[in-house]
Structure formats: C-alpha cells, structure tokens
Structure 1
Amino acid sequence: MRRFLDVLYSAAGGVAALSILAICLLVSAQVGLNILARIGGPALSFTIPSYADFAGFALAAASFLAMAYTLRAGAHIRVNLLVSRLPERGQWIAEILSLALGAGIIGYATWFSVLLLAESWHYGDTSPGMIPVPLWIPQLSMVVGLGLLTVALVDTLIQSIRNRAPVVIDFGSE
C-alpha cells in the first residue's frame, strides 16, 4: 500500500508539473502571436481562443494536484517558531493534532467540492469563454487534488502514530 500511495502522489505531482508546462507553452504561444500582430499588422492578428480560461484551468490543476505530493515531500510552508521549541513528544503531539485537524478540514472541503462538481454536471454549467468547457472537467482536478490531500493527511497521520514520532516536522532542513 505504501508504494501504491507514493506512486499516486508522485503521479499527481507529475501531472501538476505538466500543467505548469502547459501554462508556459500556452502563454508563450499567445505572446508570440501578439508579437506577430505588432510586426505584421492586423492581417497577422491571431489569438488562441479561450487561452486565458485554459491557462486558469491548468493553474487550478497544478495547484490542487501538487498538494499531496508537496505534503509527503515535506515541502509545505510551515511555521515552526513554536513547535521547534517543544520537546520531541510535544512536537509529535502537535503534528498529530495538526494532521488530524487538517484531514478533517480538507475532507470537508473535498466533500463540498464533489457536491459542486455534481451540481455543475447536473446543470451542464460551462465556462463563459469563446470555447465553452463543461465546468466539471476543470473541477475534477480540484476534487482529485483535495481527495489525494485528504488521503495523504490521513496516511501521514497513521505513519506518525505508528512511528510514535513526528514524520513531517524536520527542523534540520530549514
């Protein structure tokens, strides 16, 4: 199970990285078309339809799909001012409490994201751009990303309880 989850988190991180690459390519292509229009005039004026919408959808995918991978890599921004001064047992308790609270909050957000996706599907909501995209498609990356983050938080919580020591808090790398 450990290997499966690690592969799943890495795959989501890989898709997030590809989403960022897609944003770079899309925006660069549109900038190139804008330069062409400036040089060539109105006859060479082209635009990528709904490119801003697609860049936004890719940004949402990158943001949500990267969260579980980032958590498991220990790369989330943490404020360790208080926790670093606690004894190791206090650090462990703080980690358990924050992981449990985080899993509850993110689980709640995941549930309501699923409801939002179902509502978009039911009503056939589409994006308002030149190319109408069914909104459930970009919302799916949010649901998957939040679901994976919930799993990663519970996974890390279980690992911390089994180890009887913090697994996320690492003050040596900061």
Structure 2
Amino acid sequence: MRRTLDFIYRAAGALAAFFILAIVALVAAQVLLNLADKVSAALVGRGIGLTIPSYSDFTGFFLAASSFLALAYTLRAGGHIRVTLLTGRLPESAQRIAEIIVVGIALCMSAYATFYVVLLVEESLVFGDRSSGMVSVPLWIPQLPVAVGLVILTIALADELIGLLRGRKASWDGKGDNLLSE
C-alpha cells in the first residue's frame, strides 16, 4: 500500500510539473508572437495580430491544476510551510499530540473542500457551464484537476494521520517516510 500511495503522490507531483511547463511554453509562445508582431509593425508599418486565443485563460487553468496537484506531494516531501515556533518548544510527546490534532483538522478541512469541489465539477458538467474567453471551454475540464488534487491531498492527510496514530514520525520531519528520502 505504501508504494501505491507514494506512486500516486509522485504522479500528481509530476503532473503538476507538467502543467508548470505548459504555462512556460504557452507564455513563451505568446511572447514570441508579440515580438513577431512588433517586428512586423517596425518593418511594414503594421502588425500582423498574432495571438494565442484565450492564452491567459489557459495559463490560469494550468496554474490551478499545478497548484492543487502538487499539494499531496509537497505535504509528503515536507515542503509546506509549518509554524514550529511554538511546537518546537514543546516536549516530544506534546509535539506529537499537536501534530495529530493539526493533521486531523487539516484532514477535515481538506475533506470538506474536496466534497464541495467534486460537487462543483459535477454541477458544471450537468449544467454545461463554459468559460467566457475567446475559446469557450467546458468548466468541468479545468475544475477536474483541482478536484483530483484535493482528493489526493485528502488521501495523503488521512495517510499521515494514520501513520502518526500508529506511532510513525511525521513524513515532513526528515525522520519519517519522506518521498524525497528514497
């Protein structure tokens, strides 16, 4: 089970990286098209109007996808910002209790958000909601990676909570089963 979960977290992280690269490629392509338009305007006195339709919409969709798909991997790799100013001063047993409580609260919040985002995707699909850009995209398409990312985060938080309750160290403290330690 551990290998399967870690594979899911890594796959979601890799997919997030793909979306980041897609943003870079799309923005670079639009910058090059803008440059070609400026060169054309300088040479012949008139731009040729090259543009990628709805590129800003697509980069926004890709940013949301990459952000949410990266959440579980980042949690397991210890990349989330944690405030240890207080917990670092607690005895080890109190730190453990605090971590269990915080992960439990995070799990509840993530499960709540996951439930409603999945409902949003379903609603967008049922009602045929579409984006309002030049390229009208069914909204369930960009919403789906957000929902998948939240589902995987919820699984990762449940995984973390179960591990903490079983006595395992937190994955983010460098002594647990961190994704980057393999």
Task: Please give the TM-score of this superposition, normalised by the length of structure 1.
Answer: 0.94
Determine helix, strand or coil for the equivalent of 2:146. helix
Q: What whole-Å deviation, never above 9, does each CA across 1:95-137 have from its counterpart, x for those lacking one?
A: 1001110000110000000111111111100110111110001
Matched residue, 1:120: 124
Name which of structure 1's ranges 112-121 and 41-50 shifts more when overlaid on structure 2. Answer: 41-50
Is the contact between residue 96 and residue 160 of structure 1 (CA under 8 Å) also seen in structure 2? Answer: yes
Q: How many residues align?
A: 171
State the SS of the aligned residue for 1:45: coil
CA RMSD of aligned residues (A): 1.4
Q: Is the 8 A contact 1:120 1:136 kept in 2?
A: yes
Q: Which runs of 5+ in 1 are unaligned?
A: none
**Is 1:152 aligned to 2:152, yes or no?**
no
- Given that 1:17 and 1:62 are in contact with CA atoms closer than 8 Å, whether structure 2 keeps it comes out as yes
The residue type paired with residue 10 of structure 1 is: R
* Correspondence 1:1-174 to 2 at 5 A: 1-41=1-41, 42-163=46-167, 165-169=169-173
8 Å CA contact 1:68–1:148 kept in 2: the answer is yes
- 1:170 CA drift (Å): 5.2
Gaps of 5+ in 2: 176-182
Contact 1:160 1:167 in 2 (8 A): no
Please state how far the C-alpha of 1:165 moved relative to its aligned partner.
Answer: 4.3
SS at match of 2:79: coil
Q: Which residue number in structure 1 is paired with residue 179 of structure 2?
A: none
- The one-letter code matched in structure 2 to 1:74 is G
1:12-66 deviation digits (Å, cap 9, x = unpaired): 0000001000000100100111111111123532000110111001000000000
The 8 Å contact of residues 76 and 171 in structure 2, kept in 1 or not, is answered as: no
- Shift of the 168–93 alpha-carbon distance from structure 1 to 2, 3 Å rule, reads farther
Aligned to 1:163, the other structure's residue is in SS state: coil
Cα distance in structure 1, aligned partners of 2:14 and 2:168: 31
CA shift, 1:167, in A, is 3.9
- What is the TM-score when the length of structure 2 is the normalising length? 0.90
Q: Secondary structure at the match of 1:168?
A: helix
- Paired with 2:170 and 2:66, the residues of 1 have a C-alpha distance of 28
Contact 1:30 1:47 in 2 (8 A): yes
Q: Answer yes or no: is the 8 Å Cα contact 2:125–2:140 preserved in 1.
A: yes
